[in-house]
Amino acid sequence: MALVLGIVAVCILAIYSVYFIRIIKGSPQEFETELLKAFAAWAVSRGSALRGQMRLMLAASIVLEAVYFTLVFTVISNPAMLIFSAFLVGVEVVHMGLVSSAFYQFFRGRLKIKELFNWRMERISAVLFFTHCFLVLFCLIWG
């Protein structure tokens, strides 16, 4: 299970690395604008199928995070990492709640696409997830 956790952690690190670097450099806005434009183009191309696909993506994200954190709590024994993991679970519950609410409002016509993402929360989530995965790998290698 440690190997699976390591693979998942490396994948998350790879996914978040570009955004993390932009955040650390102090210039995430340009990257976020690119992401929003790409999302808008994708949303237009999906048309009426967008709502179902967004639900599926949100559900997949929740499942993947649940698998990741289940592996963390099963494999990692470092008390500090377990506390950090519990904190991150709480942050991610709030994050997923905000994302779900934003998409619900978007599909009801109450939010414009440019208002869809809470970039401050996205940055917090990205930095915490990147850091957590890095520390998990550290624990797996040297723990």
- State how far the Cα of 56 lies from the Cα of 122, in Å rounded to an integer: 19
With a cut of 90, say whether residue 143 has pLDDT above it: no
With a cut of 90, say whether residue 38 has pLDDT above it: yes
- State how far the Cα of 93 lies from the Cα of 99, in Å rounded to an integer: 10
Contact 71, 5 (CB under 8 A): yes
SS (H, E, C) 109-142: CCCCHHHCCCHHHHHHHHHHHHHHHHHHHHHHHH
Tell me the domain boundaries of the chain. Answer: 2-142
In the predicted model, what is the mean pLDDT of residues 60-66? 96
Per-residue pLDDT, 141: 94
DSSP assignment string, 3-18 = HHHHHHHHHHHHHHHH
The proportion of the chain whose per-residue pLDDT surpasses 90, expressed as a percent, equals 97
In the predicted model, what is the mean pLDDT of residues 9-38? 95
pTM for the model stands at 0.91
With a cut of 90, say whether residue 32 has pLDDT above it: yes
Contact 102, 119 (CB under 8 A): no
The proportion of the chain whose per-residue pLDDT surpasses 70, expressed as a percent, equals 100
